Structures are given as structure tokens and as C-alpha cells.
Amino acid sequence: MTEKKNSAGILGTGWAAPEQVVTNADLERMVDTNDAWIVERTGIHQRHVAPDDMPVSELAYRAACMALKDAKVDPADLDLILVATLTSDRIIPSTACVLQHRLGAVHAGAFDLSAACSGFVYGSAIACQFIETGMYRKILVIGAETLSKVVDWTDRNTCILFGDGAGAAVYGAVEDGLGVQSFDLGSDGSGADFLDIPASGSLHPVTHEMLDQRMNFIHMDGKAVFRFAVRIMGKTVEASLQKAGMDKGEIDWLVPHQANIRIIQAAAKRLNLSMDRVIVNIGNYGNTSAASIPVALAEAAHAGRFKKGNVLALAGFGAGLTWASCIMKWAKED
């Protein structure tokens, strides 16, 4: 007889963003671009930018505190902390360990996860496995980024896209039948060079030559990434729906990675969803990579947009290339 699994779901959410905002009008004074072009092509009006002395762990901490309060969970009761980020405070130690100490999560293991913009859903998948088996009871999953620190502010093709922020969720056991129903995780390393920071590791260590060539900043083949994203976003949600034994018509809300409004619209069209059933905040934040989905999720949750039992589809794509989606039935009471 198969042992019954716990149902794993979200107990609380939180988000944080730096106070400083860089608008499209600000960018017009920095590079050859204009507000109308940026909005038409991306849907972005502004992005939040961290000051030089603010590490990503600070944003992660603020989002975590909000999520823990929302979940009514004490940090000492956490079993595990996962931080999805590509802009960690340092290569070592992990940002998760820095956060574990600052929160006072004295019983929690901690590690960082690298899956770029898909990272929060990847982390959620890991968390749910531990909870479903009963091995762990409370897990904090965070997506956090300070992309402004790795963006070349002289490159008009990339500096318009990215911003800083953090989103967090506390996972635990929820009422049977609710919570996460399925995941779809994927990767295609043949597209690894489409979106990267060339001088950021052992392949091309940071040298004066690398710095002179501005190889320590984000480089992106925008057209290739766009084509990949349009194809994969709807497809990965369909895969998660199939695993859950559900169909498109059962989705109440789509919470997509906020990279480009046209990509979001294409995914919604493929899933037969009107845009009023899609959570969109790209205009205020830009692309915050691993923070994108959890920030959108937390903002919507705290605004009371999700009702208990609503079916949510989370979907993201990112450098790697990676993609990830999940289907969940919202388990939190209003």
C-alpha cells in the first residue's frame, strides 16, 4: 500500500524592492532610447535599483520577514532555506547562509540555487518534495536579485530590461487536495550563450582585460531569447497541466515571469486566458529574474486576488536555458 503524502503549499508570501526608481525618462538621459519604444517593446515603465551598499541578502531578508509574518511561522521553526539568485552577495558563502543567520533560523539548512529566472519555481519544486514526504515541515523559498549591479548601463539593449527585488514564500503542509499539484522543469544547455555574464566564473576569470571588455556584465542575444520564451512559456504550463490531470480551462490565474509583455501575452493566448486573469507587474519592476514570479505572486496574494481553491499556474524561463512551471490550488485563507 502506497504511503499517503502530505499536500504541500504556500503558507505565506512577502516581497521587497529598493526605494530608488529609475524611469524610462531617466534612461533617455543615459543611453540612446526613449520611453515610447521601451513601453511598446517590453511593457516596462520603471525599475527599482538598489544602492551600491545594498547586497541582495538585504532584499531577501525583507521579503523573508514579510513572508514569515504572513505565514505566522517563527524563523526557528524553519527546516530549510533556499535562495534562488544569480547575484549572490559573494560566490561563497551562499546568500542563504547569510540569511539563515540574520533571521535566526537556527535549525535550518541553507543553500543557493542557480536557475536564473526559473529559480523560484525550481526551488519550490525542491521544497515540496521535502514537505510531501514529511522529512521537513517548514521551508522558506526566496527569489532575490540585484541585477542593476551586473547590468551594463551603457548598453541600451539590456539596461532597459532589468531591475532589483526579492519575493519569498513559506511552504508547508496544507489541506488535502490543495497546494501544489504538479511541476514541469526543463533545460536546454545548447542555448547557454544566449544569456550570460561571460566573466563571472572559472571559464573566464575576472581580469583587467575582461573588465576593459565589459565582460563582467549581462550579455544577451535578445532575439534568440525572445523566440525561445514565446515557444516555451505556454508549452511548460501545458506539461504541468497534463501531469496534474487538468486542462487549460481550469486555470484561474497565470503568474508568469515578468520579462516582456509580449511574451506574457503570447503565453496567455496559448492558454486561452484573458489578460485580466494574468498577474502583470512588469511595468513597475522590469525583469527581476528569480525574484520576478514570487514578487508578482506576493503582491497579488496580499491584494486579495487569490481565493482559497483557485488554480494558479506559475511559469518562467531563463538563462541556461531553463524553464519551469507548476500548478497549484491556492491553500491560504483570505
The catalytic residue positions are 117, 257, 287
Whole-angstrom Cα distance, residue 190 to residue 254? 28
Question: Residue length, the chain?
Answer: 334
Q: What's the CA gap between 45 and 299, in Å, rounded?
A: 18
Q: 311-318 and 322-329 as β-strands: parallel, antiparallel, unpaired?
A: antiparallel
The residue type found at 294 is: P
CA dist., res. 35 & res. 28, Å (int): 7
Alpha carbon dihedral 224, 227, 228, 230, in 10-degree steps, equals: 150
Q: How far apart are CA 67 and CA 254, in angstroms?
A: 21
| Residue in 175, 179, 109, 116 with CA at minimum distance from that of residue 329 | 179
CA proximity to 162, closest of 141, 139, 145: 145
Angle at the Cα of 85 (from 83 to 89), degrees rounded to 5? Answer: 90
Contact 171, 138 (CB under 8 A): yes
Closest alpha carbon to 55 in 13, 14, 16:
16
CA distances from 36 to 28, 39, 67, 263, 265 (A): 11, 5, 36, 18, 19
Please count the other Cβ atoms lying within 10 Å of the Cβ belonging to residue 69.
12
